[in-house]
């Protein structure tokens, strides 16, 4: 019961009045920014990162937990009322959520998303409390070769399973690796890919990349279409609260969504896209109201939103215990740890127990605050969506600039961020996923370091990756993840049939 | 039949952009390979030197770019071509270009004009570019954001922002 003692210690820290205030500010700011259309949790965290620089680490991370949950919750609001998901994990929510809003049931849709997020977030936080110290203990025995294999698995699953094309996913990943390699090599001190530009020696900050890709890339996309399209906000009519029947249909979906979301998020193959699609399909199959799917079935919002939140919490397990971010949001979180000179990994639990447990305790607190603040305030958050879009996007661009500029007072950083925004604009246009770029930037250098360490230990013998049972097993899973989308086609080929079978996709067109 | 002709034209336009993207990816790969040759060896023995990663990235990007080119020529990816054509039909280049130009001007004027004044011009100008018809309201928003953010960041968060021309009057 050592865990309970540590957790109690964490609560004792996190319940201090100033930290409660930080949590409240974090939840409100996270929701406020997350509600803006086209802005998902990764960008919310990246934009608000500079705000936390002046706090002590514990205060900053408590605020962070709030921003994280607030950003996720805010994202569901735009999916439901505007049909614009802030990120790929919210795409499923639009399927039923927007239909519900169209039929004047936006209130219950938002409520089931909020309560579902709370339920999933709380259950997942309990799971983190129980599992994370255990995983961290196991991870102490991990060798560089195992870490390398884990990161290969994360890379493969992100580029192969998400998005419509393995080829384009892999290309995005390699572009990310390119950006991540710019700067001084940590092991030898040699400069790489800087092409003589001194300012590049420190490398590109992940915040510069994330804000550029998500904020500027998105804003330019919207700007290019501003005259062709109009986004109309659906008003929240009638009762916000759910009926007894809504509730009866929602709660099993919340629990199933959590069960699907947490384990899949916790695997170092993470991301939240796959669990949300799985949850939607499960709900559709199990529902007694299958005919309502496509026209606004509440289970279709409750399940995926719970899965989304649970997966996002699950992502914290590999992040905290192994130091491996498996989603764009987690990559930005890792950058936050690095700002405070903290290296997440198995040693974090022994080196900075006060911080870890305060962070976990604040996940519980953040969840409760989110529910208390957001349910009554739904109508106010919805008002934010009524900001005229030209002013809104001008504001987003100003804040993106502020976020990058205030970190180092560097105009060059801002200009690089804009260039990466142009890259993001063309990536959207040509259907290249942007998540793998962010992941490549932050995971690439980690992967390289572990690879080189493993090779130093084995004295240059490549077979070390396949002779260690653990790394060999993980690499085998990675190969499996690579082949999985082509399985139907391979089976058809083996059976001697020739008709074209589509590739399995877990991206935005896997439905039907 | 006319619809087919239009579809084919759209698809070829989309494939052209896909080919350009493939070329850019190959170019990036060659750049990485060139960069790899520029990396110094460093002192002492290391099992794997610092130039391996750029080499792997370069080879990977060239190979992926070649495959992308294949999918845009010999075995055209028509789904992608249609997606790009749909995007292209909606794209208004002057709006996009002007937005980008305003951004660059904003970054360059932040220092000399200071945060408050730069934001004061930036918000209404970009809002106008994006189609707003209410310049006075937009100007008010710009002034408000400029002042509120400046005061909040410099006074409460301890983050330095340039005061610029308004240095004598700002707190």
> What φ, ψ does residue A183 adopt, rounded to 5°?
120, -165
Tell which wins on pLDDT, A163 or A491. A491
Q: What does the mean pLDDT of chain A come to?
A: 84
Report yes or no: A510 at the B interface, CB cutoff 8 Å.
no
Residue A211, number of CB atoms within 10 A of its CB? 32
Q: Which of residues 179-238 of A touch B (CB under 8 A)?
A: 181, 185, 187-193, 195, 216, 219-220, 223-229
Residue in the block written with tokens 């949950």? A69
Q: Which residues of A153-182 are buried (b: 16+ CB within 10 A; e: fewer)?
A: bbbbbbbbbbbbbbbbbbbbbbbbbbbbbb
> What φ, ψ does residue A121 adopt, rounded to 5°?
-60, -40
Question: What residues in B contact A398, CB-CB < 8 Å?
Answer: 106, 119, 122-123, 145
Residue B111 within a domain: yes
The answer to whether B127 contacts A426, with C-beta atoms less than 8 Å apart, is no
The rounded distance, in Å, linking the Cα atoms of A168 and A510 is 17
Confidence of residue B157 (pLDDT cuts 50, 70, 90): confident
Tens digit of pLDDT for each residue in A185-194? Answer: 878 888 888 8
Question: What residues in A contact B17, CB-CB < 8 Å?
Answer: 429-430
Last residue of a domain, one of B69, B90, B111: B90
Residue B10 within a domain: yes
**Model ipTM?**
0.92
Per-residue model confidence (pLDDT) at position A426: 94
Residue B163, number of CB atoms within 10 A of its CB? 18
Confidence of residue A232 (pLDDT cuts 50, 70, 90): low
State the Cα angle at A327 between A194 and A159, rounded to 5°. 75
Mutation target for B interface from A398, A413, A459: give the one with most B CBs within 10 A: A398
The answer to whether B48 contacts A460, with C-beta atoms less than 8 Å apart, is yes
Structure token pair of residue A277: 């699609």
Residue in B28, B18, B85, B17 with CA at minimum distance from that of residue B54: B28
The answer to whether A228 contacts B92, with C-beta atoms less than 8 Å apart, is yes
Residue in A42, A499, A47, A110 with CA at minimum distance from that of residue A315: A42
Residue B86 within a domain: yes
Beta-strand runs (E) in A328-397: none
Per-residue model confidence (pLDDT) at position A270: 59
Nearest chain A alpha carbon to B33: A193
pTM, two decimal places: 0.87
Are residues B24 and B73 both part of a single domain? Answer: yes
Nearest chain A alpha carbon to B40: A190
- The whole-angstrom distance between B112's CA and the closest CA on chain A is 11
Tell me, rounded to whole angstroms, the distance of Cα A148 from its chain centroid.
21
- Residue numbers of the domain that contains B112: 93-166
Helix, strand and coil in chain A, % to nearest 5: 75, 0, 25
Tell which wins on pLDDT, A13 or B126. B126
The rounded distance, in Å, linking the Cα atoms of A436 and A179 is 12
Are residues B26 and B105 both part of a single domain? Answer: no
The rounded distance, in Å, linking the Cα atoms of A129 and A120 is 14
The answer to whether A391 contacts B141, with C-beta atoms less than 8 Å apart, is yes
The rounded distance, in Å, linking the Cα atoms of A412 and A405 is 9
Residue B42 within a domain: yes
Structure token pair of residue A383: 């008002």
What is the signed CA dihedral for B161, B162, B165, B166, rounded to 10 degrees? 20
Confidence of residue B110 (pLDDT cuts 50, 70, 90): very high
Question: What residues in B contact A391, CB-CB < 8 Å?
Answer: 123, 127, 132, 137-138, 141
The rounded distance, in Å, linking the Cα atoms of A221 and B136 is 26
Last residue of a domain, one of B90, B121, B139: B90
Question: What residues in B contact A410, CB-CB < 8 Å?
Answer: none
Residue B98 within a domain: yes
Nearest chain A alpha carbon to B72: A430
Report yes or no: A459 at the B interface, CB cutoff 8 Å.
yes
The answer to whether A193 contacts B54, with C-beta atoms less than 8 Å apart, is yes
Tell me, rounded to whole angstroms, the distance of Cα A84 from its chain centroid.
17
Return the bridge partners of A183, or none: A192
Last residue of a domain, one of B71, B90, B109: B90
Are residues B62 and B100 both part of a single domain? Answer: no
Return the bridge partners of A191, or none: A184
Let me know: does A143 contact A471? Beta carbons within 8 Å. yes
Are residues B99 and B71 both part of a single domain? Answer: no
| SS3 call for A153 | helix
Question: What residues in A contact B96, CB-CB < 8 Å?
Answer: 220, 223-224, 425
Structure token pair of residue B96: 């996009």
The rounded distance, in Å, linking the Cα atoms of A201 and A198 is 6
Per-residue model confidence (pLDDT) at position A124: 93
As for how many domains chain B has, the answer is 2
Let me know: does B53 contact A182? Beta carbons within 8 Å. no
Tens digit of pLDDT for each residue in A126-136? Answer: 999 998 888 88
Are residues B131 and B51 both part of a single domain? Answer: no
Question: What residues in A contact B87, CB-CB < 8 Å?
Answer: 428-429
Tell me, rounded to whole angstroms, the distance of Cα B37 from its chain centroid.
28
The answer to whether B131 contacts A227, with C-beta atoms less than 8 Å apart, is yes
Per-residue model confidence (pLDDT) at position A302: 92
Are residues B52 and B120 both part of a single domain? Answer: no
**Exposed/middle/buried for residue A52 (C-beta within 10 Å: 0-12, 13-18, 19+):** buried
Are residues B75 and B126 both part of a single domain? Answer: no
Question: What residues in A contact B137, CB-CB < 8 Å?
Answer: 391
Q: List, in sequence order, the alpha helices (H) in B39-130.
A: 52-72, 78-90, 93-113, 115-129
The answer to whether A397 contacts B103, with C-beta atoms less than 8 Å apart, is yes
Give the HSE-up count for residue A240: Cα atoms under 13 Å, Cβ half-sphere. Answer: 16
Q: Is the pLDDT of residue A509 over 50?
A: no
The rounded distance, in Å, linking the Cα atoms of A351 and A109 is 43
Tens digit of pLDDT for each residue in A289-344? Answer: 888 888 888 999 999 999 988 988 888 899 889 888 888 888 888 888 887 888 88
Residue B74 within a domain: yes
- The whole-angstrom distance between B167's CA and the closest CA on chain A is 17
Are residues B74 and B102 both part of a single domain? Answer: no
Are residues B79 and B112 both part of a single domain? Answer: no
Q: What average pLDDT does the segment B70-90 reach?
A: 83
Residue B171 within a domain: no
The answer to whether A225 contacts B90, with C-beta atoms less than 8 Å apart, is yes
Mutation target for A interface from B28, B36, B41, B53: give the one with most A CBs within 10 A: B53
Residue in A4, A122, A29, A21 with CA at minimum distance from that of residue A62: A21
Q: Is the pLDDT of residue A233 over 90?
A: no
Structure token pair of residue A88: 């790929």
Are residues B115 and B85 both part of a single domain? Answer: no
- How many beta-carbon contacts under 8 Å exist across A and B? 205
Are residues B66 and B86 both part of a single domain? Answer: yes
Q: What average pLDDT does the segment B74-78 reach?
A: 81
Structure token pair of residue A511: 């439905």
Residue B156 within a domain: yes
Are residues B61 and B107 both part of a single domain? Answer: no
Q: Is the pLDDT of residue B152 over 90?
A: no
- The whole-angstrom distance between B158's CA and the closest CA on chain A is 6
């Amino acid at each position: 019961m050592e865990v309970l003692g540590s957790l109690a210690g964490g609560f004792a820290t996190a319940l201090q009045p100033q930290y409660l205030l930080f949590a409240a500010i974090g939840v409100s700011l996270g929701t406020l920014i997350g509600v803006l259309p086209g802005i998902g949790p990764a960008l919310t965290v990246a934009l608000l990162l500079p705000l936390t620089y002046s706090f002590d680490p514990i205060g900053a991370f408590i605020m962070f937990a709030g921003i994280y949950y607030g950003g996720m919750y805010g994202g569901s609001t735009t999916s439901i009322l505007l049909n614009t998901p802030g990120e790929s994990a919210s795409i499923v929510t639009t399927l039923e959520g927007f239909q519900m809003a169209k039929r004047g049931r936006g209130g219950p849709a938002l409520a089931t998303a909020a309560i579902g997020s709370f339920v999933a977030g709380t259950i997942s936080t309990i799971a983190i409390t129980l599992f994370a110290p255990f995983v961290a203990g196991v991870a102490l025995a991990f060798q560089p070769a195992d870490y390398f294999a884990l990161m290969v698995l994360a890379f493969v699953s992100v580029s192969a399973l998400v998005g419509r094309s393995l080829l384009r996913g892999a290309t995005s990943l390699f572009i990310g690796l390119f950006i991540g390699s710019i700067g001084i090599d940590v092991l030898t001190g040699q400069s790489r890919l800087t092409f003589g530009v001194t300012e590049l020696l420190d490398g590109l900050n992940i915040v510069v990349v994330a804000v550029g890709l998500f904020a500027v890339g998105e804003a330019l996309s919207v700007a290019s279409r501003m005259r062709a399209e109009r986004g109309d906000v659906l008003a929240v009519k009638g009762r916000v609260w759910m009926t007894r029947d809504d509730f009866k249909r929602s709660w099993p979906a919340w629990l199933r969504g959590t069960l699907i979301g947490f384990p899949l998020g916790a695997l170092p193959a993470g991301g939240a896209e796959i669990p949300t699609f799985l949850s939607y399909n499960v709900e559709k199959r199990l529902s007694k109201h299958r005919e309502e799917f496509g026209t606004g079935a509440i289970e279709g919002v409750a399940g995926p939103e719970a899965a989304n939140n649970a997966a996002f919490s699950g992502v914290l397990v590999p992040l905290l215990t192994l130091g491996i971010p498996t989603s764009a949001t987690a990559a930005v979180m890792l950058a936050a740890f690095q700002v405070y000179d903290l290296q997440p990994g198995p040693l974090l639990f022994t080196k900075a127990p006060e911080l870890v447990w305060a962070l976990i305790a604040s996940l519980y607190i953040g969840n409760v605050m989110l529910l208390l603040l957001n349910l009554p305030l739904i109508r106010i958050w919805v008002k934010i969506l009524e900001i005229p879009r030209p002013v809104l996007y001008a504001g987003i661009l100003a804040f993106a600039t502020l976020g990058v500029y205030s970190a180092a007072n560097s105009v060059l950083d801002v200009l690089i961020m804009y260039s990466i925004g142009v890259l993001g604009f063309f990536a959207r246009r040509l259907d290249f996923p942007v998540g793998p770029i962010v992941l490549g930037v932050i995971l690439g250098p980690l992967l390289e370091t572990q690879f080189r360490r493993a090779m130093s230990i084995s004295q240059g013998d490549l077979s070390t990756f396949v002779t260690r049972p653990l790394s060999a097993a993980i690499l085998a899973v990675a190969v499996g993840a690579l082949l999985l989308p082509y399985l139907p086609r391979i089976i058809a080929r083996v059976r001697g049939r020739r008709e074209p079978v589509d590739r399995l996709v877990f991206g935005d067109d896997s439905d039907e | 039949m006319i619809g087919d002709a239009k579809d084919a034209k759209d698809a070829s336009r989309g494939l052209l952009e896909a080919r350009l993207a493939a070329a850019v990816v190959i170019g990036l790969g060659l750049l990485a390979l060139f960069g790899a040759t520029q990396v110094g060896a460093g002192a002492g023995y290391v099992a794997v030197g610092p130039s391996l990663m750029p080499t792997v990235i370069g080879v990977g990007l060239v190979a992926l770019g070649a495959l992308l080119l294949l999918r845009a020529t010999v075995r055209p990816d028509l789904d992608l071509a249609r997606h790009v054509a749909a995007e292209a039909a909606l794209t208004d280049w002057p709006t996009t270009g002007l937005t980008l130009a305003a951004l660059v001007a904003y970054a360059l004027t932040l220092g000399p004009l200071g945060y408050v004044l730069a934001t004061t011009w930036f918000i209404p100008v970009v809002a106008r570019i994006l189609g707003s018809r209410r310049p006075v309201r937009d100007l008010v928003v710009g002034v408000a954001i400029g002042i509120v953010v400046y005061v909040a960041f410099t006074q409460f968060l301890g983050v330095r922002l340039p005061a610029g021309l308004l240095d004598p009057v700002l707190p």
